[in-house]
Structure 1
């Protein structure tokens, strides 16, 4: 199932993508009432398998009926597919070829840092280029969305705690990121985590460690890899983090970026993002996330 958030009259609403269009869940429930159907992304996540199954069955039923609650996706204004993540945990240097291109040592343990909710952004929205940076870079990444409380989970069972996956552009102001040993400043500028367009449930994605991943800048493919190149795969990441902190439904984990970022180029060839650039992140089964970058 593909969930999305869209904005109507300034409010975020839950949509489910179907072959007939996007089901406006709240509007459908007014016309075709049914108990136990969640009306926000976070209600679905927190409701577990029962909430997911109820929504999927309901969306299939009402989409088959048709009606005004089926929307044309091309006319929607998207919201973040995970509107209010709890923790935003990021894994750095997690693709072997990316570590090699930046001259970094292959990490022995996952390198963890965090971002904040001010970075959350959506498909189709502008990303501001901060006045204080001249080196803003793109990073195509797979996001893990936690679906169940996880503490001390094994690698073998870790993916049972995942609700689904989505695209993110882990936008990075390299001059701010590398100013000190802590990366936080360069990662946490406003709008620096566009998420979407869809939150795709784990059952539809299958193995997250075998997904094609690309980044396209102004029509040019800059990153072209596969999640198989991860140093620490998704099950290892969830298990590792859960040994140190409790993961809760709605937490998201950004799993690192493959080779092809501007930072990995020789210095004389580095051309960072500028006003008007359009960046698309594509991950197999998850759709395409596109944003324009604009001078602040």
Structure 2
């Protein structure tokens, strides 16, 4: 089942299920099962809605809705850097003994088909296709063997990066938190619907050209290791997001013309999670 956050017919934010090209409104302007998709996760509704329930809700064609970030209001977004071996090798950051962790602010996110905003202060705007997971219950000091039980669902993410701001100092936060640079969606798929993440393939395309392609099984620090590590230093709540890392092939190391320009169309496709598409626009 594919869940999404989107703009309701009256212009307010809502959420629901997208099935066979139709978006069903389960939020405040529709069936009103919960106020947001994050609230649906908190209340245990996410992943439990039946066809009989959602097919009674107000609906519109998927092509008519404006997508919002899959989780619009996460309390925390924890991002993992250089977490595929190929990306470690291209960036010269091999031999890690602990995950590289940074934060992204919720108000930097945008949805599927929204512009990716290239700041006027940079000439080094880059893509990073990733898989994100959403926490389903309170998580603190989680053991690796228990980690899968804490995942509500998964979605595609594009951690657009402003490389000159990122590289200006040892801390990456400035280069990862410009407005309109955290693409998340179009869908959030329940973990139990997706099966083993090792079977998933992540592919990033720029103007139709494949730039990144890897199996999620190639993560250097596994999903259980990430959840255990992150919850070792911060308590996670339902709706919090962990963005698990990007494969090799980012624009910075792609070669001449690898970085992004206004008008470029960037797609992140992950098996079973759909295709996240954003077009680069120069900051106004």
Normalised by the length of structure 2, the TM-score is 0.94
Any gaps of 5 or more consecutive residues in structure 1? 31-36
After superposition, what is the alpha-carbon deviation per residue over 1:61-111, rounded to whole angstroms, capped at 9, x for unaligned? Answer: 14556xx82321111111111010111111111000111112222311111
Any gaps of 5 or more consecutive residues in structure 2? none
Q: Which runs of 4+ in 1 moved over 6 A?
A: none
SS of 1:259's partner is coil
C-alpha separation in 1, matches of 2:164 and 2:268: 23
Q: Does 1:185 align with 2:180?
A: no
Other-structure match for 2:52: 61
Normalised by the length of structure 1, the TM-score is 0.90
Verify the 8 A CA contact 2:24 2:55 in the aligned structure 1.
no
Other-structure match for 1:23: 24
C-alpha separation in 2, matches of 1:52 and 1:119: 24
SS of 1:238's partner is helix
Q: Does 1:286 align with 2:278?
A: no
C-alpha separation in 2, matches of 1:104 and 1:182: 15
SS of 2:17's partner is strand
Q: 1:183 to 1:20 in 2, by over 3 A?
A: closer
Q: 1:20 to 1:224 in 2, by over 3 A?
A: closer
Other-structure match for 2:109: 120
C-alpha separation in 1, matches of 2:188 and 2:182: 14
Structure with higher helix content:
1
SS of 1:101's partner is helix
Verify the 8 A CA contact 2:107 2:179 in the aligned structure 1.
yes
Give 1:209's match in structure 2, choosing from 198, 210, 222. 198
Q: 1:64 to 1:82 in 2, by over 3 A?
A: closer
Q: 1:287 to 1:109 in 2, by over 3 A?
A: same
How many residue pairs get aligned? The number is: 281
Give 1:52's match in structure 2, choosing from 23, 28, 46. 46
Q: 1:237 to 1:14 in 2, by over 3 A?
A: same
1:118-267 superposed matches below 5 A:
118-266=107-255
C-alpha separation in 2, matches of 1:188 and 1:53: 30
Deviation at 1:28, TM superposition (A): 4.9
After superposition, what is the alpha-carbon deviation per residue over 1:112-170, rounded to whole angstroms, capped at 9, x for unaligned? Answer: 11111221111011111101110010000000101101111110111101110111100
Deviation at 1:221, TM superposition (A): 0.9
Q: Does 1:7 align with 2:10?
A: no
After superposition, what is the alpha-carbon deviation per residue over 1:178-220, rounded to whole angstroms, capped at 9, x for unaligned? Answer: 1111111111111111110001111111122331001010111
C-alpha separation in 1, matches of 2:211 and 2:258: 12
Q: Does 1:77 align with 2:66?
A: yes
Deviation at 1:270, TM superposition (A): 4.5
Bigger Cα Rg: 1
Verify the 8 A CA contact 1:20 1:63 in the aligned structure 2.
no
